């Protein structure tokens, strides 16, 4: 990532956003329709934003646009789709949107993703609150020269803020949405995992597996942004369900649960935004 590219990105977005975002929403496979609920929306295709990676093809379930506006009274910038390492991008490319939106004022990030269930008892359609992760991508966007304003050695003992997770559990109980906490394993992809790899991940302590999220969280924590992650279990991981894995199944289950997930995010968003502001005021 060149300094000029992020400067151009920030300048471009600042000209087009009517208000500074407080929170970033990163919407995963099949979950992007949540961005349609944003009020007073400004929609910008990724391909129009300087510095953003240029896709050679669109991915199903990833609309590929940035949507800024208000959701539940909170100024947000939603990534309707995201960039993945398996597309061939460098970790800094995947993390550039987080860095740019933080420079515009965002202090909180809520991420969603589609994941394969490893924990016994998981079924397609379950929602898992990310309590921790295992980076099996073996890539880190913080490698190299430290970006101004970022920690060289960020603390990752609470990557998905424990206060945010308590709020998410409270909202889930109020809405009667089943929600469990678990550990997310991030693999490089794009091939799905083998049964032997899933057995390995289970022994390492993973409850679910996917191909995203961790690069964005690493950069967010280095910046000082607080994160909350929610995985939609769209399929049972290889060797656990007896069926072939397919992206079509991911999309179908994502569409089936998006209303529950949207309700959870809408309930959580104003509370975590308020908690973040209160903690800053106390400091």
Active site residues: 29, 62, 84, 86-87, 114, 211-212, 235, 247
- Alpha-carbon gap, residue 158 to 66, rounded angstroms: 28
CA distance 41 to 47: 18
The burial of 235, by beta-carbon neighbours within 10 Å (0-12 exposed, 13-18 middle, 19 or more buried), is given as buried
Does residue 100 contact residue 17 with C-beta atoms inside 8 Å?
no
DSSP-based three-state secondary structure for 76: strand
Closest CA to 234 of 143, 154, 127: 127
CA distance 61 to 29: 5
Token pair 């913080």: residue: 142
What tokens appear for 15 in the block? 């000209």
Three-class DSSP category at 206: coil
Structure-token pair, residue 186? 């991030």
Which phi and psi (to 5°) does residue 194 adopt? Answer: -85, 160
Q: Which candidate, 230, 49, 222, 204, places its Cα nearest to that of 129?
A: 230
């Amino acid at each position: 990532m060149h300094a000029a590219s992020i400067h151009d990105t920030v300048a471009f977005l600042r000209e087009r956003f009517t208000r500074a975002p407080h929170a970033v929403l990163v919407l995963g496979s099949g979950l992007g329709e949540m961005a349609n609920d944003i009020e007073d929306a400004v929609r910008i295709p990724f391909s129009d934003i300087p510095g953003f990676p240029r896709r050679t093809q669109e991915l199903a379930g990833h609309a590929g646009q940035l949507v800024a506006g208000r959701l539940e009274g909170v100024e947000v910038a939603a990534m309707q789709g995201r960039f993945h390492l398996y597309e061939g991008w460098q970790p800094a490319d995947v993390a550039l949107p987080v860095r740019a939106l933080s420079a515009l004022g965002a202090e909180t990030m809520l991420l969603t993703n589609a994941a394969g269930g490893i924990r016994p008892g998981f079924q397609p359609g379950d929602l898992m609150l990310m309590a921790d992760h295992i980076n099996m991508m073996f890539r880190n966007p913080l490698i190299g020269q430290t970006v101004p304003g970022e920690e060289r050695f960020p603390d990752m003992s609470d990557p998905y803020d424990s206060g945010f997770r308590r709020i998410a559990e409270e909202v889930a109980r109020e809405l009667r949405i089943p929600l469990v906490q678990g550990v997310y394993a991030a693999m490089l992809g794009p091939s799905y995992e083998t049964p032997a790899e899933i057995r390995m991940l289970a022994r390492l302590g993973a409850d679910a597996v996917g191909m995203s999220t961790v690069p964005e969280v690493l950069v967010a924590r280095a910046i000082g942004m607080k994160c909350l992650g929610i995985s939609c279990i769209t399929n049972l991981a290889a060797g656990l369900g007896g069926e072939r894995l397919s992206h079509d199944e991911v999309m179908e289950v994502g569409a089936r649960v998006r209303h529950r997930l949207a309700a959870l995010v809408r309930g959580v968003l104003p509370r975590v935004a308020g908690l973040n502001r209160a903690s800053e005021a106390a400091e």
